[in-house]
Amino acid sequence: MQYQQLAFQSIDITSNDLILGDSAVIFCVGTGRFKAFADKDDEIQSICLPLSPQRLVIGRSSNAESDIDRRLREQIARCSHNFFIAADLSDANAALTREIGRAALPFSRDQLREIVAEVIGDTLTC
């Protein structure tokens, strides 16, 4: 249901340097945050599925920006769990490996710390 409001199209990427993440699809939600998944309450702005270094399938909501995020490569790497595939072995792609996994988990590090602190606190009070 939450994908019905999206308009999908296949577009060419002129930079010819898209990477293919191991999460396959990435979601842009709310105010522009990229994630490897969408929660049921997320307001999806766009969905991106890289097909090749020069081709992307994108689904956009009517209020999403029409311009592709200039940092899409970085967002794909951040939403990847363990790796991404690139057409070229380059310094730019090597630098992107440091971003792998930063947005791949369902919780941020701060949220995980909060959950752990709550569980430990509840355990100690029992």
Predicted confidence at residue 84, as pLDDT, reads: 97
Predicted confidence at residue 32, as pLDDT, reads: 86
Whether the full predicted model's pTM is greater than 0.85, yes or no, is no
Predicted confidence at residue 70, as pLDDT, reads: 74
DSSP 64: S
Predicted confidence at residue 3, as pLDDT, reads: 85
* H runs (alpha helix) in the chain: 72-79, 91-96, 109-125
User: In which residue are the tokens 């992307």 written?
Assistant: 56
Residue 47: both structure tokens together: 């969905």
Across the chain, how many H-helices and E-strands are there? Answer: 3, 7
Per-residue pLDDT tens over the stretch 25-76: 999 998 788 999 988 888 999 999 999 999 999 999 986 666 676 789 999 9
User: What's the rounded Cα separation, in Å, for the pair 126 and 113?
Assistant: 20
